[in-house]
A and B are shown apart, each in its own frame.
Chain A
Amino acid sequence: MPDKSILIVEDEFLVGLYIQSTLKDAGFAVTAPAVSVKEALHHIAEEGFDAAVLDINLGEETSEEIAVKLSDLKIPFVFVTGYEHVNLSPQFAGSPLLEKPIEGNQLVDTIHSLCS
């Protein structure tokens, strides 16, 4: 069985790097994190993913558009954020959410459960 492929969207390079290496160490197939909505949507169009990790705030934009796209494709995802109060559309109110700094094991467990 091939490794599950995970999309990472994170504009903070170091945080992205951490998520990337954590998931890679856990046996997932990961690419370099996308830093913008445009880049993320491009990745989604190019290849298939089994799950995604979405940082909500991407500088001037948010990752909601990506979440909408993923929902359409039935690809499960987890939000990550450094904000305590998150203003998400009601449709994403029940989505899984991890707070920064992310606990590595928790991230891995969440992705596992999303992929199963």
Chain B
Amino acid sequence: MSSKQELSSEQFQSTMQAGNVGAWELNLNTGILTASDVFKSHFGRIPQDDFSYSNLKDSIHPEDKLKIQAALDKAQNECNIKFRIIGPKGKTRKVQMIGKLGFEASGIPMKMGGVSYDITEQSAGIKQQQENEELDDFVKNAPVAMHGVGPDGIILWANSAELQMLGYERKEYVGHNIAEFYVEASEIEDVLKSLSSGKILNDHLVQMIHGDGSVRHMLLNSNVYKKNGTFIYTRCFTRDITEIKQHMEVRGLLAAIVDSSDDAIISKNLDGIITSWNKSAERLFGYTEKEAIGQPVTMIIPPDRQNEEIVILEQLRNGKKVDHYETVRRRKDGTMIDVSLTISPVKNLRGHIIGASKTARDVTQQKEAEIAIAKMAAESEQQKRMYESIFSNMPDLVFVFDLNYRFTYVNDALLKMWGRTLEESIGKNMLEVGYEPWHAEMHQREIDHVITDKVPVRGEVSFPHAKLGPRIYDYIFVPVLNANGKVEKITGTTRDITERKQAEDTQNLLIDELNHRVKNTLATIQAIAAQTLKQANNPSDFIDSFNGRLHALSRSHTLLTKSSWEGAYLDEIFNKQLPFKVTSDRITFRGPKVFLSSKEALHLSLVVHELGTNALKYGSLATPEGRLQVNWKIKKDKQNPEIKITWIEKGGAEVEALDTAGFGMTLIEQSLKSVGGETNLDFDPSGLQCEITLPLPPKKYANLRKELLHSAR
């Protein structure tokens, strides 16, 4: 024994009793169970009751028997088993038995003994704790959002699903007033009010604010936990139905769109049976929704196009869309309409094709319009080509200005005039294409005038042509009005009038010259008449002389007109002015070709006429035997080359000195002075001799002579 002081048996027993610890011992040889009163009480027995080992075995809960057996089998020297028993009154309790083996000296087990505890209450506590833990986990980690709210609106708790759904950290949510998270604070006030009055909220729709700021549509299911009639907290289940709501809204919208669409929208299943039929389908095809649904879609397909449906259905089964398929469909009244079909396969949620939606658009008018537009476009193209052809080949300059004085069109003639390419010109203003500043400014002022007053402006201006040099142009700017009557463009055409201007100038000059010539001729005739009259003995004498001189003048005019009054050949003057009554073998004239100016020719003509008349009246031509010889030659040896004409009369009547003061003589002797000529008369008794010297005409007459010779050939 140990020297330590040990508890007495009584003391031990009382301690055991106070601790409600049972004691037991089982003799393994005899099977007799010795049990303390407490032990017995653990099995529902009172101290006076016998309690044998078999009583103990019978008390064990049937479900725990195998468990005990297994535990005992496993046990070596000790055992510690917990098991349920059923007491004599049928009450189940839970007992824990802890025991140890006792051995004989030989080492054979002799007995087992130990203690026992009634753990009924304890077990129940553990179970409660377990249940609590499970419930806690259930609430905390359930995939359904939940929260509790106190009567003051403060959020008492919220589970992870709730926080995740609303997008808040726990500290951002729990401890805050629930009203902060509602779009309308009044909404939550109403909710709390009806909850506190004992109502249960079922799928109550509220709008809450998500952590990202978005508004979410929530369904609220809630009731209140009350204790002794006091509101302790609400139990709230929230579901985010934002997406569902959006889907529903879209669906509603789609339905509305389908209903209000101008296009006929039809759906059908894969057997080709109509399953929906909107208002426009009624209008387009003439069948009501009631008449159409359940009918084969082939009822609106003309007999000769029935096979189209087979092809369409085949395509749909393969998941293909039919886009803007233009065909013909038949209305209820039998008339045909042009339609454009768009057919899409309809799939169920599992992605299987279950039918088709079909949009039919009446394109009868559209088709007519298309044909008309195509025709117009073709005509417009044709016109465009025509105008382009006209403008680009036009010798006149054609161009278009925008309102900012920029060229938006220029034709080929204008480009040639500028010496620029189209690329260098389109979109450019006048300064940029090389106009002088004064010129550009003038046109800009004119364009402003066209824009403001909507009237054409016309003018003349000189501009240097790239190849031809300075030219004179006649231009006109014309407004192009848009549909509102505003000027939108300014078109212009410009014509090169240089030649016309020159022709006009020439014409004016010619008229002036003609006038001058007529006046001078009249003055000459006046002088001839006056001088002839002075010498005339009688009117008949005057008429003869005057007529002769007038005709001489007329003949020289005829001659000069041939060369446009440039001049005449010397031999032609003699040819014209010598009296033609005389046979030609009596008159000879010979000399080189000499071209005289018109003034020289005119004066010489009158001199030759006077000489000829004189010869015919009084000289060599007055007798049948008389001869006239005219020779001329060019004398180049002098400083100023000259022509020397020699007039020799022979074989005529004897010459007397004539009245040199007479007009005829004056004319012969004096008239050539004004052209730088000289006349010498020699009244030789054998015949008159006259020597005329004229300056050789300048070179330009020689050149002109060549031209005349050329044109005569």
Contacts and interface: CB of A to CB of B under 8 A. Distances in A.
Interface of A: 11-18, 21-22, 32, 35, 57, 59, 82-85, 99-102, 104
Contact of A101 (B526, B534, B674): B526
14 contacts: A12-B523, A13-B672, A13-B673, A14-B671, A15-B524, A15-B527, A35-B673, A82-B515, A82-B516, A82-B520, A83-B516, A83-B519, A84-B512, A102-B526
B530 A13 contact: no
A14 B524 contact: yes
Nearest to A35: B674
Interface string B653-685: 000000000000011001111100000000000
A32 B670 contact: yes
B512 A83 contact: yes
Contacts of A17: 527, 531, 666, 670
Given A12-B674, A84-B512, 19 more contacts: A13-B667, A14-B527, A14-B528, A14-B606, A15-B527, A16-B674, A18-B526, A18-B527, A21-B531, A21-B534, A32-B670, A35-B674, A59-B599, A82-B523, A83-B512, A83-B516, A100-B519, A100-B522, A101-B519
B512 A13 contact: no
B42 interface: no
B523 A18 contact: yes
Contacts of B523: 12, 14-15, 18, 82, 100-102
Contacts of A100: 519-520, 522-523
Interface string B207-250: 00000000000000000000000000000000000000000000
Interface in B562-613: 599, 603, 606
A22 B606 CA distance: 21
Nearest to A11: B674
Interface string B671-711: 11110000000000000000000000000000000000000
A22 B534 CA distance: 11
A21 B524 contact: no
Contacts of A18: 523, 526-527, 530-531
B317 to A, nearest CB: 101
Given A14-B524, A17-B527, A21-B530, A99 B519 contact: yes
Interface string B496-530: 00000000000000001001110110111111101
B695 to A, nearest CB: 12
Nearest to B518: A82
Nearest to A22: B530
Contacts of A12: 520, 523-524, 674
Interface on chain B toward A: helix, strand, loop, or mixed SS?
Answer: helix
Contacts of A84: 512, 515-516
A59 B527 CA distance: 19
Nearest to B528: A14
B666 to A, nearest CB: 7
Contacts of B666: 17
Contacts of A32: 670
Contacts of A82: 515-517, 519-520, 523
Contacts of B672: 13
B594 to A, nearest CB: 19
Nearest to B511: A84
A82 B526 CA distance: 13
A78 to B, nearest CB: 15
What are the 6 closest A-B residue pairs judged by CB atoms, nearest first? A18-B527, A82-B519, A14-B527, A13-B671, A101-B523, A35-B674
A101 B673 CA distance: 22
Contacts of A83: 512, 515-516, 519
Contacts of A101: 519, 522-523, 525-526
Q: Most chain-A Cβ atoms within 10 A of its Cβ — which of B527, B531, B670?
A: B527
Contacts of A99: 519
Contacts of B603: 13
Interface in B425-448: none
A17 B533 CA distance: 14
A107 to B, nearest CB: 11
Contacts of B667: 13-14
A14 B515 CA distance: 18
Nearest to B673: A35
A15 B520 contact: yes
A16 to B, nearest CB: 7
A59 B695 CA distance: 15
Nearest to B666: A17
B231 to A, nearest CB: 123
A85 B516 CA distance: 10
Contacts of A59: 599
A23 to B, nearest CB: 12
Interface string B528-552: 1011001000000000000000000
A13 B674 contact: yes
A30 B332 CA distance: 123
B707 to A, nearest CB: 22
A97 to B, nearest CB: 13
Contacts of A11: 674
Contacts of B526: 15, 18, 101-102
Contacts of B520: 12, 15, 82, 100
Contacts of A57: 516
A102 B519 CA distance: 9
A12 B525 CA distance: 12
A32 B673 CA distance: 11
